[in-house]
Structure 1
Amino acid sequence: MNINIDIENLVLEGIYISPSQGQLLQGLVKAELARLLRTEGIPDNWASGGVVSHVPNSAIQLKPGTNTSQIAQQIAQTVYRGMKP
């Protein structure tokens, strides 16, 4: 089974990320989301595709020293939870 993930926009409010960090973050989010879909499965309601248009800004909590990989994991996990009914 092929899984295609397209992140059209990734908007983070309240933190500064350089363009190069943004590209890295986007790639890390895609990789983590793909991993979750492989290991946890595709939710039944997504059998023919779907869209997560946004996640609540309260869903991701960043602490001082949080690195790009940890931010990506939090975003991907939040998006994955948003895929479930």
Structure 2
Amino acid sequence: MNINIDIEKLILEGVAISPRQGRLLQGLVEAELARLLSVEGLPDNWQAGEIVPHVPSGAIELELGNNPTQMGQQIAQGIYRGMKP
């Protein structure tokens, strides 16, 4: 099964990161989301293969002082939680 996820925009309010750090964070979010999907699987409500215009992830609280890897994991886990009904 192939899964294509396109995250058009990810807005991080109150987080000052450089464009380079943003690209790194993007890769880390993608990697963690791919890991979650391979370990936990695609949520049942996504099995039909339809296009989903947005994922309601709610507010993702990032812990201050986290390194980019931890931030990427927290963001991806919030997105994954938002994928479930």
The answer to whether the 8 A contact 2:55-2:79 is kept is no
Q: TM-score, normalised by structure 2?
A: 0.86
Determine what percentage of the aligned residue pairs are the same residue: 60
| C-alpha distance in 2 between matches for 1:32 and 1:71 | 10
Structure 2 CA distance for partners of 1:80 and 1:51, relative to 1, 3 Å:
farther
| CA displacement at 1:55 relative to structure 2 | 2.6
Flag as ranges the 4+ runs of structure 1 deviating above 4 A. Answer: none
User: What is the identity, as a one-letter code, of the residue corresponding to 2:14?
Assistant: G
| C-alpha distance in 2 between matches for 1:21 and 1:9 | 15
Aligned pair count reads 83
| CA displacement at 1:73 relative to structure 2 | 0.2
Cα root mean square deviation, aligned: 1.5
Bigger shift: residues 45-54 or 26-35: 45-54
Q: TM-score, normalised by structure 1?
A: 0.86
